[in-house]
Amino acid sequence: MAPATVRLMPDAEDVRRIALSLPDTTEKIAWSMPTFRVAGKMFATLPEDETSIAVRCPKEERDELVLAEPDKFWIADHEAGFAWVRVRLAALENETELRDILADSWRQAAPSRLLESHPRLGLPATG
């Protein structure tokens, strides 16, 4: 029998490392938790227990994600009126998926000058 492979789920340190690697990103404590901002605009939070993240997501896409993968995505009650979705870190397939989610949220918050200087950032890798 082949040895079992150990799947290392992304954790809070991976979130921090990846988020801070995105252009013009800073970390700021708000509501007693780490938040990540691009050019001062929030694009991700790491809520209290640090087992999930909240990221920007257009409401239409958010609702589709939650319906398609309820074990991975959900909407916190206090964020229901906003274009944000929660992501369970343990449900992510790997660090690449986490990077894609964070980069996509970054793109939604980033000013056009940054989007223009980083046109490929956050777009899915092409095979």
Looking at the DSSP bridge assignments, the partners of residue 89 are none
Rounded CA-CA distance 88/59 in Å is: 18
Q: Rounded distance, CA 112 to CA 118, Å?
A: 10
Report the CATH number of the 12-112 domain.
Answer: 3.90.1150.30
Question: Which residue type is seen at 22?
Answer: L
**What is the tens place of the pLDDT at every residue in 3-32?**
555 557 799 999 999 999 999 999 999 999
Q: What does the pLDDT look like over 38-81, one tens digit per residue?
A: 999 999 999 988 999 999 999 999 999 999 999 999 999 999 99
Q: How many residues are listed for the chain in this entry?
A: 127
The reported pLDDT for the residue numbered 120 is 80
Residue % of the chain over a pLDDT of 90: 80
For residue 124, pLDDT over 80 is answered with no
Q: What is the pTM for the complete model shown?
A: 0.88
| Domain residue ranges in the chain | 12-112
